[in-house]
Structure 1
Amino acid sequence: MKTYRNIQGVPDFIEKIFGEKASNYVVLIPIINEGDRIISELRRAKKHKISKLVDIVLCDGGSVDGCTDEGKIKNLDVNTLLIKEGTGRQGAQLRMGIWWALDRGYEGIITIDGNNKDSIEDIPKFISKLQEGYDFVQGSRFLRGGKAVRTPLSRLFAVKFLHAPIISLTAHKRFTDTTNAYRAYSSRYLLDSRVKPLRDCFNTYELLAYLSVRASQIGLNTCEVPVKRIYPRKGKLPTKISFFKGNMELIKILLMNALGKYNPREDSR
């Protein structure tokens, strides 16, 4: 176990490594109190031998529900557990994971939610596109070959008629499933001086919006791949976004992003 502190643009965090670096690619899974959902997702990953293709890393925001029990996650092929101690939400968890992954020398980073909605078995599609030279690969349930199952109508409307059009206009390229955190980034993209993802302004959902548009803005290669996103038949909706406050925050982030407010200062417009 090792503790990292006072790294610029990165929250303080604890590192627990269970295995050596075994791949050129890593999947970062941000979680907080995901309970059985993350365990089910990891079981699916093990069934499909995903750890043979990527190192699996959990980016924990401070779970207290036992979902990061070391015995469980080690048996499910988790390579490393990162535990955020500093402030911030999803954006801070991702910054922690991105810094750690780049420092460890991975060529590409894949991210996926830890609530068991996404088809983790589709990770080979992202690796293939990274190997072809793409720098940003967005997973989309709306492409031919993808699948959107039981998506709440409010979410469907927001993605298709609000989020995706604004992101596409900002990116100068059409994307169809822009709220989906299932995507991949090349290390070349994340290390580009025109990007600079390790900044404290990315605390909640700003980083996802920003990285969705920045690659095509600076002329890097981007694409989408079909994935599945399946909402549960019953029970509480697996999301961290509240209906009113959360969605208002997202709209504000979209507008700030469209105005270039998250671009590195020397390039902001």
Structure 2
Amino acid sequence: MIYQKKEGVPQFECTEYAEKTKDYVVLIPIINEGDRIIKELKRAYDADIADYADIVICDGGSTDGCTDEKKLKKLQVNTLLVKQDAGKQGAQLRMGIWWALERGYQGIITIDGNNKDSIENVPDFIRKLEAGYDLIQGSRFVKGGKAVNTPLVRLISVQLIHAPIISLTAHQRFTDTTNAYRAYSRRYLEDERVQPLRDVFMTYELLAYLSVRATQLGYKACEIPVTRSYPKKGKTPTKISFFKGNSELMKILVKNAFGAYNPK
């Protein structure tokens, strides 16, 4: 089924392999992740994650075969959403969030599709949502979390730049703010003072914005321990280029700190 573009939501194709079965959904934004997303889904399969939440792929238009229907269905993927419009991660997440809210989920967990994160921890996010938290940030830096082979420059930039700025903006301390492994309650996402479905969120703006808006509005937020693992050798699995990507992130952080993304 094709959903036409509407304000704040890109045009996308939806292929449902199964009906809604859970109150919670895991949204996995990907583009050409190759074997990495398959390995991640196999880990989810082995950990029975589909018993806790529906698994949904938010594809940006992959052409490498990683969204092969037989593979996805075998690994208990509930639905495949394919963006057919402009934008990167932010647009993929807006697509997924709109669809998930329309389908009636009470909470949304997001996780990268490059097999760096411990998808086995999804039940921990759900327990926090059920305990009344509205923003749950996964962190490799809190007690119980694990940072495996984190590149030094990434470690420094997160701990000395990104996390302090986000924490100051949010008025609450967070330690792993570039980590897209987090959960949001339905009430937080549907608050008129939040409005995540806006076209201003095209790349990484939405992650920064949703990291701070919850506590600014008095919603309950916390961090839980997760594992984030980088390969010992070879190319670092990331879509953020060293110079251009990081400079864009800094611009987003500054704009976010000054409230540029708050609804007018």
TM-score (norm 2): 1.00
Look up the match of 1:259.
258
Look up the match of 2:113.
114
Look up the match of 1:13.
12
Contact 2:171–2:216 (Cα < 8 Å) also in 1: yes
Look up the match of 2:220.
221
Q: Which moved more, 1:232-241 or 1:173-182?
A: 232-241
Alignment pair present for 1:177 and 2:171: no
Q: CA deviation at 1:233?
A: 1.6
2-structure distance, mates of 1:70, 1:56: 14
1-structure distance, mates of 2:71, 2:105: 25
Look up the match of 1:127.
126
Look up the match of 2:104.
105
Identity of aligned residues (%): 70
Instruction: Output the amino acid matched with 1:110.
Output: I
Instruction: Output the amino acid matched with 1:151.
Output: T
Q: CA deviation at 1:191?
A: 0.1
Number of equivalences: 264
2-structure distance, mates of 1:144, 1:170: 23
Alignment pair present for 1:26 and 2:61: no
Alignment pair present for 1:49 and 2:48: yes
Look up the match of 1:140.
139
Look up the match of 1:82.
81
Look up the match of 1:238.
237
Instruction: Output the amino acid matched with 1:261.
Output: A
SS in structure 2 of the partner of residue 30 of structure 1: strand
Q: CA deviation at 1:170?
A: 0.2
2-structure distance, mates of 1:200, 1:255: 19
Instruction: Output the amino acid matched with 1:186.
Output: S
Instruction: Output the amino acid matched with 2:59.
Output: D
Q: CA deviation at 1:236?
A: 1.1
Instruction: Output the amino acid matched with 1:223.
Output: C
Instruction: Output the amino acid matched with 2:77.
Output: V
Q: CA deviation at 1:63?
A: 0.2
Q: CA deviation at 1:88?
A: 0.1
Q: CA deviation at 1:7?
A: 1.7
Look up the match of 2:3.
4
Contact 2:214–2:221 (Cα < 8 Å) also in 1: yes
CA deviations on 1:220-247 (whole Å, 9 max, x unpaired) are 0000000000001222110000000000
SS in structure 2 of the partner of residue 78 of structure 1: coil
CA deviations on 1:54-93 (whole Å, 9 max, x unpaired) are 0000000000000000000100000000000010000000
Instruction: Output the amino acid matched with 1:68.
Output: T
2-structure distance, mates of 1:113, 1:172: 26
2-structure distance, mates of 1:237, 1:135: 31
CA deviations on 1:107-153 (whole Å, 9 max, x unpaired) are 00000000000000001110000000000000000011000000000
SS in structure 1 of the partner of residue 234 of structure 2: coil
Unaligned runs of 5+ in 1: none
CA deviations on 1:13-69 (whole Å, 9 max, x unpaired) are 000000010000000000000000000000000000000100000000000000000
Look up the match of 2:248.
249
- RMSD of equivalent CA atoms: 0.4
Instruction: Output the amino acid matched with 2:209.
Output: Y
Look up the match of 1:38.
37
Contact 2:5–2:12 (Cα < 8 Å) also in 1: no
Unaligned runs of 5+ in 2: none
2-structure distance, mates of 1:33, 1:74: 18
Contact 2:30–2:58 (Cα < 8 Å) also in 1: yes
Instruction: Output the amino acid matched with 1:31.
Output: I
Q: CA deviation at 1:8?
A: 1.2
Q: CA deviation at 1:6?
A: 2.7
